[in-house]
Amino acid sequence: MAGFFAWRGRHLPPPVVALLMAPFFMLIVFAFLYPILSLLSLSVTEPQPGLGNYAKIVENPLYATVLMRTLWIAVVVTVCSLLLAFPLAMAMAQARGAMALLLTACVLLPFWSSVLVRTAAWSVLLQRNGIVNGLLQWVGLTSEPVRLLYTEGAVVIAMTHVLMPFMVLPIYGALRNIPPDYGRAAAICGAGPIRRFFEVTFPLALPGVMGGAILVFLTALGYFITPALLGSPKEQMIATLISQQLREFLDWPFAAALVGVLTVFVTAITLAFSKVFRFDRMMGGQL
């Protein structure tokens, strides 16, 4: 994958390059950059110029709590995704033939199936008389149905389910690129399976792990659908708060400020991790 976007072949004349890239730049500027920047400018100019909208976020404990909860849920989802994604990616990298096909299909099918469908599935599974409650009672963990839906737990579970494939692919890509001779060399040097994992496999897979973790973390921070449908209105995340401010209170400047906080935060993280956040590794070559 090295040099994925590297220059290859004969140079095109600069005017041709500009012409070929023009539609791309026009699209991004017109339908992405300009709208975002004009929204952000709204947050510092309305209702009066200054950082009043941002001060409101910091000063009101209600909003500060939402920010902290968002951060916390994103961290938990990222950690859960890693715990599930790494073993799965390893199994994918080691599997051969039909097994490899099955595993790949199991990861890619959720990846490409509707987020709404998957969220609806969890809302059925977690409802009061749903399968999960039935299972819990059958095992004997509870004697009567517990409230699962519209809780932070539901949001974490469903978000992990939706975002985990984004972590599997880069880790799989990194693992697949490790030459098998490395493990053999470590074994000849006397390393057992566990040493081999921690001394060779994991360090070499780390770029994939970091890339996947950052992608899942950033996506989780701004995630809207799952908290909107499975979360409690009393335990909002930043995306649902933005939606509420906009749709219920029509407070554009304040919603814009919340978007500003979110955007600045994800941009800062992206820049800080720009070394490991390599786009070409992101999908592990599996689309």
Per-residue CA distances from 219 to 13, 147, 225, 226 (Å): 38, 27, 12, 12
Looking at residues 89 to 148 of the shown chain, list those that interact with another protein (rule: CB under 8 A): 91, 103, 105-110, 112-125, 127, 129-131
Q: Does position 79 bind another protein by CB under 8 A?
A: no
CB of 191 to another protein, least distance (A): 15
Q: Is 282 in the site for another protein (CB under 8 A)?
A: yes
Choose the binding region for another protein from 51-59, 60-68, 83-91, 137-145 (rule: CB under 8 A).
Answer: 83-91
- Min dist. Cβ of residue 243 to another protein (A): 7
E strand or H helix at 4 = none
CB-wise, 85 or 200, nearer to another protein?
85
Residues 79 and 216: their CA atoms lie apart, in Å, by 10
Instruction: Quote the least distance from Cβ 54 to another protein, whole Å.
Output: 15
Q: Which of 266, 259, 235, 225 is nearest to 245 (CA)?
A: 259
Q: Does 65 bind another protein (CB under 8 A)?
A: no
Structure tokens at 24: 């791309």
Greatest CA separation found in the chain? 74
The amino acid at 166: F
CB of residue 264 to another protein, shortest distance in Å? 10
Using rule CB under 8 A, residue 25 touches another protein: yes
**191 makes contact with another protein (CB under 8 A):** no
* Alpha-helical runs (H) found in the chain: 14-28, 34-45, 52-59, 61-94, 97-112, 115-125, 131-139, 152-176, 180-188, 193-196, 202-221, 225-230, 238-247, 252-272, 279-282
User: Is residue 165 at the binding interface for another protein, with CB under 8 A as the rule?
Assistant: yes
Residues in 2-21 that interact with another protein by CB under 8 A: 3-12, 14, 16-18, 20-21
- How far is 224 from 238, CA to CA, in rounded Å? 8
Q: Does residue number 193 form part of the binding site for another protein (CB under 8 A)?
A: yes
Tell which positions 228-267 bind another protein, by CB under 8 A: 228-229, 239, 242-243, 246, 252, 255-256, 259, 262-263, 266-267
